[in-house]
Amino acid sequence: MKKPQNELRCTFVSNSCNEALARGIATSFLIMLDPTAEELADVRCSVSEAVTNSIVHAYRGTSGEVAMILRSYDDGTVKITVSDRGCGIGDVEQARAPLFTTAPDEDRSGMGFSIMESLSDKLTVKSALGKGTKVTITKKLSSKKSSPT
């Protein structure tokens, strides 16, 4: 894998107020790369879904750390990983299926992974029960600007 042109790492506790914070951080990182309004909205929404999952599902009934790493590459590709050390997912394929949710009574619709998949160019999910989950969102920006202006 080629070296990123820019990289930002952050960790925050799994408080729901940090969903907006994570969106804001992703926006600040991307804006330097001159994204279209649609690309920016897509990344903001994907980050929100991934971070919300870590906060809501991974650390259910407890709290823990969520890590987010943003990287940009010289061809305009942006990769964002959101990881937690929470409960993990037993069957990732099932979890990624549209409408699958383990929290229907909390008004969850089971569409988070499907949304992330449709708004990104690639979505990878690695998870182990009892160890945690790592979601990587890949988005290619049309501007091809890889470094801050």
Ligand X SMILES: Nc1ncnc2c1ncn2[C@@H]1O[C@H](COP(=O)(O)OP(=O)(O)OP(=O)(O)O)[C@@H](O)[C@H]1O
The one catalytic residue in 49, 60, 65, 85 is: 49
Q: Residue 112, interface with Mg ion (CB under 5 A)?
A: yes
Residues 6 or more apart in contact with residue 58 via CB below 8 angstroms: 14, 64, 66, 84, 85, 86, 87, 88, 132, 133
Q: Out of 32, 110, 117, 145, which residue is the one contacting ligand X (CB under 6 A)?
A: 110
* CA gap 85, 105 in Å, rounded: 24
Q: What is the DSSP letter of 105?
A: G
Q: Residue 64, interface with ligand X (CB under 6 A)?
A: no
- SS3 (DSSP) at 19: helix
Q: Out of 5, 27, 102, 138, which residue is the one contacting ligand X (CB under 6 A)?
A: 102
Question: Which helix (DSSP H) or strand (DSSP E) does residue 61 occupy?
Answer: none
Q: Residue 76, interface with Mg ion (CB under 5 A)?
A: no
| Residues, the chain | 149
Q: Residue 57, interface with ligand X (CB under 6 A)?
A: yes
Is residue 53 part of the annotated active site? The answer reads: yes
Q: Of ligand X, Mg ion, none, which one does residue 146 interact with (CB within 5 to 8 Å by kind)?
A: none
To Mg ion, the closest distance from the beta carbon of 113 in angstroms equals 7
Is residue 49 part of the annotated active site? The answer reads: yes
**How many CB atoms are located within 10 Å of the residue 148 CB?**
11
Written as six digits, the tokens of 98 are 């549209």
What residues make contact with Mg ion under the rule CB under 5 A? 53, 112
**Contact residues: ligand X, CB under 6 A:** 49, 53-54, 57-58, 84, 86-87, 89, 95, 100-103, 108-113, 133
List the catalytic residues. 49, 53, 108
